[in-house]
A and B are shown apart, each in its own frame.
Chain A
Amino acid sequence: MKKPFRYAPALVAAAALTLTACSDPGAGTGDTGPVDWPAQDADLSGTTLTVWAAQNSNTVPDSVIAGFEELTGAEVEVVTIPDPYEQGVQTKVATGDMPDLAFWQPTASQLTALNAKQHLQPLDDAPWLDAYKPELRDITGILDGTRYAALITTPAVEGVYYNKEVFAANGITETPADWDAFLQTARDLEGAGVTPFHEMAADRWGTQWWVQVQLADAAADGLWDRVNTREELFTDPTIQGAIDTYQGLIEEGLFNEDIKTATFEDQGAALLAGDAAMVVQVNSFFGQLQSLAETEELNRKIGFFPISPSGNTGTFIPDQSNALVAFKTGDADRESAARQLLSYWMGDGYEGFVNAQSTVSLQSDVETPADVPEALLSVSDSLGTAVGSMQASAIANPDLYLYLADMIQGTKTPAEVAEATQAQFDELAKAQGAEGF
């Protein structure tokens, strides 16, 4: 042991070597030229494709996969990534692990979060694009002029789910035509002893819809473009005003008494039972209602109308179950097979898919199945004129919902909500290298 440090130089050298290799393990292949789209039924025997899905979307592809495997001889494996799905996928991709296809929120902010340009196959000249209903073709899935996501089901719309029976019992025959009428309806209901609105601040994530629907007009006028370039801030009057209004309505007593402790499950039960008349929510809320009641009862009891300051414009927010992205895995055959699966999904397989899922069809030539509940049809009808939500149009997705939940709990003022959101937006935009941040 005379030279205890004999091996030290070697160790230092090894450590230095490891450190020089300190680049992003997710760095992958560069851009490729235009791609070919194989025929839907081209033989794929011996090819195995992996699809990543979340806990609530892992059975969505079942019917399509069965048909595709039968037709082409390929094998398709669905891998469930545990919740929180987006975080799990992002982390895996960042460390160089990627599937052939994955369910993914087709919004600009989420495509950016996945570093789409680097990791995803462009789908610009996909064969199914002309089959979409014209107003839905380019609604989402596009980042900087390149299409990266294939929309498979109707994106969610933020709007008002209401209890038809409560409305009828209080003599309300028409749904409100604008924001003022909406609040008037709520105040009338409150006067009649009915809780107008239900909010679930314990589960937090739903709180942001109230602010976003108030921004629909501004969003149509390019609000998010201005936020994206820091010309307009969350603390400026438009967004701050929406937050203030939300707080004002809560203080006015238009919401359920247990707003601080109520959960998503409570919200569904409350609307269905008529304990509250209206809920501002997205499509997954209807999924929750479907777990509580049959379609016949839902058609009888639950309706939907979009709302915006000046009228009935919806605010759309696609989620991960609405779309798929195809990864640049570096294996040309599997990349091609992934495109083929998408072609089949949106091609010959699409009718079987919408029937199996009982969901609204996105394509002009494929009929929506008859058993789709009425409220979901109203949601899909509002899509044509809907504007993008923060998630759909902003380059980053700050935790606005979290800060709003803090506001409801009383630990943040409305001004602090806007400040915290803006600060986080700045951080995310700066990390992306966005101009102006």
Chain B
Amino acid sequence: MSTNLTLAKARPRQQDHPLWFLVPALVVLVVFFFVPTLFNFVYAFTDWSSFKSAINFAGIDNFTSLFSNGTLLNSLKVTLVYAVLVALFQNAFGLGLALLLERDTRVNRAVRVAFFIPVIMSALAVGYIFQALLKPDGALNGILGALTGADVAIPWLGDTTWTIVVVAVVHAWKWMGLSMLIYLAGLKTINEDVLEAARLDGANRWTMFRAIRFPLLAPAVTFNVATALLGSMNGFDIVQATTEGGPGGTTELLNIFIFRTFGQGLFAQATTMSLVLFLLVTILAFPVIRFLRKREDVL
């Protein structure tokens, strides 16, 4: 035993895990994460564009011209509205599905898989499929027409007020399987004794859900709301495939605006916008996660 101890002393941690073992991982981290992020900050203060080869320092020029232009603020507003809508729908759908499919029957298992499939589908493919379904002469209007017996030609993706809701529902539809899975896992962790006690006290299903099960789901809610909210602020693919930011710019997320600006060859400005998006997500992430974690104190 004493020999072992001496050995352990003679070979401190640093020797069996020398720090340079970290180098490969660190190189990957620096090259693919650290440097690009840093460049994202640096290029925002330059005049990098496709029009000339030199890159000069431009101070806060990009920021002033972006904020004096209404398009950026509009895109920020659209992005926030979109994120909130997606978070609402995705969690409502996910929680609903989890409660419906909670029991481990054979049918439920199969249905869970079915609802999870959209999560692993390509977002662009989902977008294009919904774009075809939601056209004025698309399948959805066809079905509605057959049911009502009248000719239905609702432009689901052509309304300057409601299209953002429709697109948020599509986004939520794609990701609701993931929320469902996490809520299912959350439901499984609830102690059966607690539920048993509630039943003995005569609680009905609704009271059980409202007073016991939902509060105990707090960690799952934290994860789902945070990922849905912050993830959809980085949304691009589904909206690009369905509306490309239209009609009338009402679904132009910041990422679509960035894509458009980059395509114009204004690389520095596009970088500035992605920096703004990064800051926005960061600023929003802290209070949201803090608030949600606070709810977990009941546990």
* Interface positions of A (Cβ within 8 A of B): 1, 6-7, 11, 14-15, 18-19, 22-24, 26-28, 84, 86-87, 90-91, 93-94, 112-115, 118, 201-202, 204, 258, 260-261, 399, 402, 405-406, 409-412, 420, 423-424, 427-428, 431-433
* Interface positions of B (Cβ within 8 A of A): 13-14, 19, 26, 30, 34-35, 38-39, 42, 47-55, 65, 69, 71, 136, 155, 158, 160, 244, 246-250, 260, 262-269
By a CB distance below 8 angstroms, the chain B residues around A261 are 136, 155, 158
CB-based nearest B residue for A119? B53
By a CB distance below 8 angstroms, the chain B residues around A420 are 71
By a CB distance below 8 angstroms, the chain A residues around B262 are 87, 91
Alpha-carbon distance between A428 and B267 when the two chains are bound, in angstroms? 11
Distance in Å from the Cβ of A360 to the closest Cβ of chain B? 31
Judge whether A113 and B248 touch: CB under 8 Å.
no
| Those 8 A-B pairs whose CB atoms lie nearest each other, nearest first | A411-B248, A409-B248, A87-B263, A27-B53, A431-B49, A409-B247, A432-B51, A261-B158
- Determine which of A18, A91, A113, A412 lies in contact with B35 in the assembled complex, contact meaning CB atoms within 8 Å: A18
- Determine which of A84, A258, A428 lies in contact with B266 in the assembled complex, contact meaning CB atoms within 8 Å: A428
In the complex, the number of residue pairs spanning A and B with C-beta atoms less than 8 Å apart equals: 108
By a CB distance below 8 angstroms, the chain B residues around A432 are 49, 51-52
Judge whether B53 and A428 touch: CB under 8 Å.
no
The secondary-structure label for the interface of chain B is loop
Distance in Å from the Cβ of A434 to the closest Cβ of chain B? 9
By a CB distance below 8 angstroms, the chain B residues around A204 are 244, 246
Alpha-carbon distance between A94 and B265 when the two chains are bound, in angstroms? 9
CB-based nearest B residue for A258? B136
- B19, B248, B266: which has the most chain A beta carbons within 10 Å? B248
Judge whether B265 and A431 touch: CB under 8 Å.
yes
Q: A204-B246, A410-B160, A433-B51 are in contact. Are A15 and B265 (CB under 8 A)?
A: no
CB-based nearest A residue for B13? A1
CB-based nearest A residue for B66? A427
Alpha-carbon distance between A22 and B38 when the two chains are bound, in angstroms? 11
In the complex, besides A26-B50, A260-B247, A406-B249, 14 extra interface pairs with C-beta distance below 8 angstroms are A1-B14, A7-B19, A11-B26, A15-B34, A15-B35, A15-B38, A90-B263, A90-B265, A115-B51, A202-B246, A406-B248, A409-B250, A412-B249, A431-B47
CB-based nearest B residue for A89? B50
By a CB distance below 8 angstroms, the chain A residues around B263 are 84, 86-87, 90
Judge whether B71 and A93 touch: CB under 8 Å.
no
Alpha-carbon distance between A202 and B157 when the two chains are bound, in angstroms? 9
Judge whether A113 and B160 touch: CB under 8 Å.
no
Distance in Å from the Cβ of A30 to the closest Cβ of chain B? 10
What are 12 contact pairs spanning A and B, CB under 8 A?
A: A15-B34, A27-B54, A86-B263, A115-B52, A204-B246, A258-B136, A405-B246, A427-B269, A431-B49, A431-B51, A432-B52, A433-B51
Judge whether B158 and A260 touch: CB under 8 Å.
yes
By a CB distance below 8 angstroms, the chain A residues around B246 are 202, 204, 405, 409
Q: A84-B263, A91-B262, A431-B266 are in contact. Are A115 and B248 (CB under 8 A)?
A: no
By a CB distance below 8 angstroms, the chain A residues around B53 are 24, 26-28, 115, 118
Distance in Å from the Cβ of B162 to the closest Cβ of chain A? 13
By a CB distance below 8 angstroms, the chain A residues around B248 are 405-406, 409-412
By a CB distance below 8 angstroms, the chain A residues around B49 are 431-432
Alpha-carbon distance between A113 and B269 when the two chains are bound, in angstroms? 15
Alpha-carbon distance between A402 and B13 when the two chains are bound, in angstroms? 62
- Determine which of B34, B42, B50, B250 lies in contact with A113 in the assembled complex, contact meaning CB atoms within 8 Å: B50
Q: A260-B158, A409-B247, A428-B266 are in contact. Are A112 and B260 (CB under 8 A)?
A: no
Judge whether A202 and B158 touch: CB under 8 Å.
yes
Q: A202-B158, A428-B266 are in contact. Are A22 and B55 (CB under 8 A)?
A: yes
Alpha-carbon distance between A26 and B52 when the two chains are bound, in angstroms? 9
Alpha-carbon distance between A24 and B65 when the two chains are bound, in angstroms? 23
By a CB distance below 8 angstroms, the chain B residues around A433 are 51-52
Q: A202-B158, A420-B71 are in contact. Are A427 and B266 (CB under 8 A)?
A: yes
